[in-house]
Amino acid sequence: MLDAFYHEHMHEEEEIRYLLEGCAFFDVREHHSERWIRCHTGVGDLLVMPPGIYHRFTLDMGNQLRAMRFFKNEPKWVAHNRGQETDANPYRLEYLKSIEVQ
């Protein structure tokens, strides 16, 4: 299952995670380049990823993590892998508009 999280993807809903045990890396794609911003996260960290932002996830060398995921409405786990179709996704376009990228 970890391999699936490492593929660059986005969600059509806000992703909120609270880390309970272990450590991990969350990589967020810069909107204007092919570079990643890597966040090393650990116990007590709270991550909020807006809909439409490209990201990926992997464990660190400790190889363990327990986290809670929160949802605004009903639970959704759909990941849309990066590609031409996803680049044109309305949630992706709305995210880019929100950060003023044309």
The CATH number given to whatever domain includes residue 49 is 2.60.120.10
Give the pTM.
0.85
Give the number of residues written for the chain.
102
Q: Tell me what pLDDT residue 5 has.
A: 64
Q: Tell me what pLDDT residue 72 has.
A: 81
**Average pLDDT along the chain, 102 residues, taken 10 residues at a time:** 72 94 92 87 95 92 90 83 94 92 64
Q: Tell me what pLDDT residue 3 has.
A: 60
- State both tokens at 96: 């880019």
Structurally, the chain folds into a number of domains equal to 1
- State both tokens at 92: 């992706």
Q: Is the dihedral of CA 74, 19, 44, 38 positive or negative?
A: negative
Domain that holds residue 30: 2-98
pLDDT tens readout for residues 27-39? 998 877 788 999 9
> Contact, 55 vs 26, CB < 8 A?
yes
